[in-house]
């Protein structure tokens, strides 16, 4: 496909901002701090950074290069590269965002509700009297979770329908700098709270005694890195297809990794010290997931006194931006797939994806309330979809490694990396990683997810 027939980013900065915005999502804010606290603080952070700059870098380069070379979204990219038998991989990669997006938007709706609540609290003062009760009541409400999900979805669709440059790029140029500024400001504020030093040391200082085993640290860091960088979701292939030929793929990949890691580490600086100081009485017990975001932290903000309302509003503004930027990237991936596969207009594709998101999202939105009886494998719908995608994603990643390393061959990827005229200094490293190391590492992520899902050996991250 000719470059002129496909939308493109205005420059490398726009691409890096968009890709980093996709990577910086809720996983950075509610899972990274928990895992760092659980697995030795600085030990986990160091391992995570090392894996991101090796395995994460290789997978990012691969997906971005495939997208730019093919000028297609993931559903048609593999066939376009001259291997039609591998179209199944594009279909599998498309299923990931198609099934993650609906329940992710439900959680995005929860975030939007808390943002609205903190706007009200900022004006009237005080805080949540019982955050756990409020969260349980809200998620079990007859219509509120669905309405919040629908509003959140409408916002993302409004951005997507305007296109790559006028919609996604402009939205990220506003939200990403604002997100980074708020993250830095909140981390600095938390560091200045009297008594926060204990929590900061707990978070940053390596503690090998708290690590159950180095294997679990590696798997925990690898799993977090894998999902945090938006790998095997078709996002980086789709975003890469909009990348200009004269921009550097390797430089973009490094910058995405560093931006994602920077925000993840800042998230821990924002969250762990105040949780240790106000919520855990120094016990070091850090909750994870929605419990941390929607119950523990609102309770912390209430206990912070007069400043808590302002801190809570700033925090949930940051979280809302993070949720929106990630949802936008998944929505665009789905829309681009519909456009490329069915040769339809963007507006029709946006309408189709929006309808799919709202219909399937309603199952998760009502899953803790009126449809709580729907429990596949004994799990609420949202948790079932999340567990299923945690299995499918590493399958797609492993297959992508095999495709790039043994079918397409590394030289094709490396040639795309040289297209801007720069020297590829990591040739040998890339060949070894994509052909031998990466498939094994991704397979261990898949194995750990299967063990966690079925409770094999008591495994739990």
Q: What is the pLDDT of residues 403-454, one digit of tens each?
A: 999 999 999 999 999 999 888 999 999 999 999 999 999 999 999 888 877 8
Largest CA distance in the chain: 62
Length of the chain: 461
In a domain, 303, yes or no: yes
What is the extent of the structural domain holding 239? 3-455
Tell me, yes or no, whether 461 lies in a domain.
no
**CA atoms within 13 A of residue 292's CA, in its CB half-sphere:** 26
Task: Give the integer Cα–Cα distance in Å for 386 and 294.
Answer: 18
In this structure, is residue 159 part of a structural domain? Answer: yes
Tally the domains of the chain: 1
**Residue closest to 62 by CA, chosen among 42, 85, 78, 45:** 78
Q: Is residue 250 part of a domain?
A: yes
CATH number (domain holding residue 399): 1.20.1740
pTM of the predicted protein model: 0.95
Is 460 domain-assigned? no
In 3D, which of 461, 48, 41 has the Cα closest to residue 273?
41
What CA–CA distance (Å, rounded) separates 135 from 142?
Answer: 14
Distance in angstroms (rounded) separating the CA atoms of residues 149 and 154: 9
- In eight-state DSSP terms, residue 209 is G
The C-alpha atoms of residue 265 and residue 24 are separated, in whole angstroms, by 11
Residues 6 or more apart whose Cβ sits within 8 Å of residue 201: none
Q: How far apart, in whole angstroms, are the C-alpha atoms of residue 251 and residue 12?
A: 9
CA distance 176 to 262: 13
CA 322 to chain centre: 9
pLDDT tens per residue across all 461 residues of the chain: 445 578 999 999 999 999 999 999 998 998 999 999 889 999 999 999 999 999 999 999 999 999 999 999 999 999 999 999 999 999 999 999 999 999 999 999 999 999 999 999 988 877 888 999 999 999 999 999 999 999 999 999 999 999 999 999 999 999 999 999 999 999 999 999 999 999 999 999 998 876 667 888 998 899 899 888 999 999 999 999 999 999 999 999 999 999 999 999 999 999 999 998 887 544 456 777 899 999 999 999 999 988 999 999 999 999 999 999 999 999 999 999 999 999 999 999 999 999 999 999 999 999 999 999 999 989 999 999 999 999 999 999 999 999 999 999 999 999 999 999 888 999 999 999 999 999 999 999 999 888 877 877 655 54
Asked whether residue 113 is domain-assigned, the answer is: yes
């Amino acid at each position: 496909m000719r470059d002129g027939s496909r939308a493109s980013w205005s420059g490398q900065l726009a691409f890096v901002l968009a890709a980093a915005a996709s990577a910086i999502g809720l996983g950075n804010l509610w899972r990274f701090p928990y895992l760092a606290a659980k697995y030795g603080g600085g030990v986990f952070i160091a391992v995570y950074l090392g894996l991101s700059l090796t395995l994460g870098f290789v997978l990012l380069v691969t997906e971005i290069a495939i997208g730019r070379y093919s000028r297609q979204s993931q559903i048609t990219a593999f066939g376009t590269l001259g291997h039609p038998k591998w179209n199944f991989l594009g279909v599998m990669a498309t299923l990931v965002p198609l099934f993650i997006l609906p329940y992710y938007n439900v959680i995005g709706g929860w975030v939007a509700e808390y943002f609205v609540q903190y706007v009200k609290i900022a004006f009237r003062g005080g805080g949540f009297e019982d955050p756990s009760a409020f969260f349980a009541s809200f998620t079990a409400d007859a219509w509120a979770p669905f309405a919040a999900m629908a509003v959140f979805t409408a916002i993302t669709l409004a951005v997507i329908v305007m296109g790559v440059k006028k919609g996604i790029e402009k939205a990220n140029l506003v939200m990403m700098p604002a997100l980074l500024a708020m993250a830095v400001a909140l981390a600095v504020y938390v560091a200045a709270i009297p008594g926060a030093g204990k929590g900061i040391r707990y978070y940053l200082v390596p503690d090998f005694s708290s690590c159950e085993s180095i294997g679990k640290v590696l798997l925990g860091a690898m799993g977090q890195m894998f999902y945090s960088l938006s790998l095997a979701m078709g996002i980086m292939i789709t975003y890469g297809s909009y990348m200009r030929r004269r921009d550097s793929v390797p430089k973009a990949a490094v910058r995405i990794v560093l931006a994602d890691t920077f925000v993840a580490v800042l998230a821990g600086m924002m969250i762990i010290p105040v949780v240790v100081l106000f919520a855990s009485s120094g016990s070091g017990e850090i909750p994870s997931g929605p419990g941390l975001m929607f119950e523990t932290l609102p309770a912390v903000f209430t206990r912070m006194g007069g400043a808590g309302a302002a801190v809570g509003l700033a925090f949930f503004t940051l979280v809302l931006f993070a949720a929106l930027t990630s949802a936008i990237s998944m929505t665009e991936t789905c829309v681009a797939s519909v456009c490329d596969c069915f040769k339809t207009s963007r507006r029709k594709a946006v309408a189709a994806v929006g309808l799919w998101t709202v219909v399937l999202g309603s199952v998760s939105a009502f899953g803790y309330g009126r449809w709580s009886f729907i429990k596949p494998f004994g799990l609420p719908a949202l948790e079932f979809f999340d567990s299923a995608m945690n299995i499918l994603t590493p399958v797609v990643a492993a297959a992508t490694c095999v495709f790039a390393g043994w079918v397409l061959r590394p030289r094709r990827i490396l040639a795309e990396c040289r297209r801007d005229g720069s020297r590829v200094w990591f040739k040998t490293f890339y060949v070894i990683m994509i052909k031998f190391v990466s498939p094994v590492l991704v397979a261990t992520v898949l194995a750990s997810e299967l063990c966690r899902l079925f409770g094999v050996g008591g495994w739990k991250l």
